[in-house]
Amino acid sequence: MADTMQFDLVSPERRLASGEAREVQIPGAAGDLTAMAGHAPTITTLRPGILRIVGTTGTDEYAVTGGFAEISAEGASILAEEAMPVGEMTQDALDGFVARASDRLRAAKDSGDQNLVDDAAKLVADMVAMGSQAGLTAKQPSA
């Protein structure tokens, strides 16, 4: 069995990465998972977090705000809502992610739908945690 797999990461704006990977650590909505060559076919949604690609030449990290991952024995394709290399993530970018999530939380509270409120509150918490993983501190949301 091969010890590498094809990996692709794309966002609506651009293709961020493509190449061979030994493993891909994915922030799945139902929990973190690691995809490797020979993985069972899986499709999962992403939560905000840090996506790590362990390649033949080192490890690359990307902040993703959500999206989908399609995994097969031959590769993994990540379709991210928004993504950027962790090294390019700034305080302003994190604050923007948290502010948009906080807006969703306010709208959910206005709707009166507790399920929407719970989902939006988790989104805010995931955005704050993603920033912390990237070495940044989010401003406290005012939701």
* Per-residue confidence (pLDDT) for residue 48, from 0 to 100: 97
Tell me: the pLDDT tens digits for 1-15? Answer: 579 999 999 999 999
- Fold classified for 5-86: ATP Synthase; domain 1 (2.60.15)
pLDDT band at 142; cut points 50, 70, 90: low
Strands 49-55 and 58-64: antiparallel
β-partners of residue 22 are none
Tell me: the pLDDT tens digits for 54-102? Answer: 998 899 999 999 999 999 999 999 999 999 999 999 999 999 999 999 9
